[in-house]
Amino acid sequence: MKRRMGLAALLLALLLFGSVVRLAWLQLVSPAAGIRAAEDWKRGAVAQHQRRLVLDTGRGDFVDRYGRAITGETYQALALFPIRPAARGNERDMAVLADILGVEPAALRRELDGLREAKFWRREGEEVPYPLSEEQIRRLSGLTLGGVRVLPYRNRYPASFPAKHAIGYISQHPELVREVYAKELAKGTVKLTDTVGGGGLERSLDRLLRGTGATSVSYFIDGTDRPLRGLGIRVSQSDNPYYPLRVVTTLDLKLQNALEAYADANGLREGAIVVLDAASADVLAMVSRPSFDPWRLDDPAGPELANHAIRAVEPGSVFKLVTAAAALEYGVADENHEQFECDGEYGKYGLSCWKPGGHGLLTLREGLAQSCNIVFATLAERLTAAQINQTADRLGIGRQIGWSREEASGPLGALRLLEEEEAGTVFAGGRVPSVRDGGLLVQTGIGQRDVRVTPLQAANLVVTLLNGGRVMEPRLVSEIRYANGQRMAALAPREGASRYGRVSPAVTGALLRGMEAVVARGTGQSIREGAWAVAGKSGTAETSAAAARNHQWFAGYGPVQSPRYAVAVLAANRPPDSANRATALFRGVMDVIAAHEKAGKASR
């Protein structure tokens, strides 16, 4: 018996000695391996005794042109950490906590006892932590409950106003991660489960916005899941003074919010409103409907997530501005001295004028004011497909027009601010037919057939006309700054020049006079009264959808005497016989802008 016990003791001693030798080898003889092992051991030991909660992801934020926050708000929220139920505290304090949160004590106890990881308190059905009031925080300060702390939480999308399609959203998007971050995936610095920008500027600037790490808090417990006295909670965060970045947009947040509220109150269920600075083409507001909830992204391909301001659809008579420009530019029409006769029927291709019986004799300017199909069908047949296509290109139509840079150098590299922007088309597939087809030309000339235009392009077309044919690239971001305020990059205004050159100032002047006539005595007479005199062009287009629907448009500017704003409104998929909703909305949008401008001057 003694011999057996001696052998067992010897074996145990040898095992213990081997473990000591192995540990000494790792720590003393093999420094590199020892360091890695020691660090792994430390991390493992700490992980067993702490509960971690992310307070701020470290992602960069967006502000408007005046520095007002579009993303990112910090507020106090209740953090809950999983600990041993007996270490929570007394029932009286638990009852007070339940009263503060507005829940039943038993339900709260079940919630806390069932915790498996640290989390913020959320009300039922809500996606973001519940913001505590000052009174609630005061009451909580008098409680002595384990595993419960009031901590600052960084909420990306403030609840005080709707999410913006132009800004976009973040989500888990494995397919996009594979496409954009293939190298990082291979290195292990990015995971398929990472949250990335899924749309808008969040997507275009994702690499810059990702930051250098999250701010998190750790709550330490012992081996029996009881809080460790003296350790409490510890905050860990990146010590890089340059991150997170701040992206300064060209948006005016107050105007954006006012126009969103106006659109919702006045029945814009599907469509868009784009407001550009008439001099620079900077985007002051970009509204898309239907709206979306950034915390409930059920269908990535659904209409709610689509930014209709940069989706191309049939423009209808708004495209007649392009047809008129081509006719004048190529000398196949005279603005004032030539007259066209409209009796309501074109006589071929099954084309009729929208007005039964026709308009009688019209000049080109009056044809534009009355949006006469006969006038523009006539002009289209005088032109070639190439002439129409080249004029559209000169005016920024049929190509992506949003701000972009092709240079790969610098901190930005090659960049397009609105990656999802559609180019639109003039002719199918972007191919200009070489064979003359009168029916195709006529349908194209009145903005039907294969013509597709985005509201952003329509608003920018107005800017181009106001600037004598100079095409600008609408800009949504003006600069990007480091966390310390230092400028990282400036995104200067850029021209969107066409390879075919510019439309002449004489032509753009003629079109502007025609747009004034639209409101003065044409199809836009209903919007003559308002805060400012305005001008523009309406449009109604039959869609290619299976159900009979129309896209209703109005693109214009104001005030007429000193144009400062170019606006395009699209009311999509409207009933065929309904009044042009876009025209009425345009008037309201201009009045909202006028009131906003007046309020801004008063505050200064």
The residue with greater pLDDT, 482 or 31, is 482
For the beta carbon of residue 38, count every other beta carbon within 10 angstroms: 13
Return the SS3 of 307.
coil
For the beta carbon of residue 365, count every other beta carbon within 10 angstroms: 20
Question: Mean pLDDT, to the nearest integer, of 252-267?
Answer: 97
**Cα 248 vs. chain centroid, distance in angstroms?**
14
Rg value, the chain, Cα:
32
With 0.75 as the threshold, say if the pTM is over it: yes
**Cα 376 vs. chain centroid, distance in angstroms?**
36
> Closest Cα to residue 51, out of 308, 233, 275?
233
Question: How far apart, in whole angstroms, are the C-alpha atoms of residue 536 and residue 512?
Answer: 8
Q: What's the pLDDT score for residue 415?
A: 94
Return the SS3 of 197.
strand
> Closest Cα to residue 197, out of 176, 169, 160?
169
> Running DSSP on this structure, what letter comes out for residue 527?
G
- 410: region left, alpha or beta (phi > 0 left; psi from -120 to 50 alpha): left
Question: How far apart, in whole angstroms, are the C-alpha atoms of residue 490 and residue 250?
Answer: 12
For the beta carbon of residue 594, count every other beta carbon within 10 angstroms: 18
Question: How far apart, in whole angstroms, are the C-alpha atoms of residue 544 and residue 537?
Answer: 22
Taking the CA atoms of residue 46, residue 48, residue 51 and residue 57 in that order, the dihedral angle to the nearest 10 degrees is 60
Question: Mean pLDDT, to the nearest integer, of 101-122?
Answer: 91
Q: What's the pLDDT score for residue 34?
A: 45
Question: How far apart, in whole angstroms, are the C-alpha atoms of residue 50 and residue 48?
Answer: 6
The residue with greater pLDDT, 258 or 127, is 258
Q: What's the pLDDT score for residue 182?
A: 92
pLDDT-based confidence at residue 252 (cuts at 50, 70, 90):
very high
Which uninterrupted H or E stretch holds 79? strand 73-80
Question: How far apart, in whole angstroms, are the C-alpha atoms of residue 372 and residue 138?
Answer: 69
Question: How far apart, in whole angstroms, are the C-alpha atoms of residue 160 and residue 326?
Answer: 47
43-70 pLDDT, tens digit per residue, is 444 444 446 799 999 999 999 999 999 9
The secondary structure of 154-177, three-state, reads EECCCCCCCCCCCCCEEEECHHHH
Which uninterrupted H or E stretch holds 572? strand 565-574
pLDDT of 472 higher than 90: yes
pLDDT of 224 higher than 90: no
354-372 pLDDT, tens digit per residue, is 999 999 999 999 999 999 9
Query: Is the preceding omega at residue 129 within 30 degrees of 0, hence cis?
Result: no
pLDDT of 436 higher than 50: yes
Beta pairing class for 404-405 and 360-362: unpaired
pLDDT of 10 higher than 80: no
pLDDT of 37 higher than 70: no
> Closest Cα to residue 76, out of 151, 135, 7?
151
**Cα 61 vs. chain centroid, distance in angstroms?**
13
Query: Is the preceding omega at residue 563 within 30 degrees of 0, hence cis?
Result: no
Residue 479 neighbours by CB under 8 Å, 6+ apart: 248, 487, 488, 489, 490, 491
Question: How far apart, in whole angstroms, are the C-alpha atoms of residue 359 and residue 371?
Answer: 10
CB 485 within 8 A of CB 243: no
Which uninterrupted H or E stretch holds 515? helix 505-521
280-305 pLDDT, tens digit per residue, is 999 999 999 999 999 888 666 677 89
559-579 pLDDT, tens digit per residue, is 999 999 999 999 999 998 899
474-506 pLDDT, tens digit per residue, is 999 999 999 999 999 999 999 999 999 999 999
- 281: region left, alpha or beta (phi > 0 left; psi from -120 to 50 alpha): left
> Closest Cα to residue 455, out of 303, 302, 582?
582
Q: What's the pLDDT score for residue 26?
A: 47
Give the length of the chain.
Answer: 604
> Closest Cα to residue 311, out of 293, 290, 325, 296?
290
pLDDT of 41 higher than 60: no
Q: Which of 196-200, 290-294, 471-475 shows the highest mean pLDDT?
A: 471-475
Question: How far apart, in whole angstroms, are the C-alpha atoms of residue 141 and residue 147?
Answer: 14
pLDDT of 424 higher than 70: yes
Q: Which of 217-231, 408-422, 485-499 shows the highest mean pLDDT?
A: 485-499
Return the SS3 of 440.
helix
Any bridge partners for residue 514, and if so which? none
> Closest Cα to residue 111, out of 143, 88, 140?
88
379-405 pLDDT, tens digit per residue, is 999 999 999 999 999 999 999 999 999
pLDDT of 173 higher than 90: no
Return the SS3 of 568.
strand
pLDDT-based confidence at residue 408 (cuts at 50, 70, 90):
confident
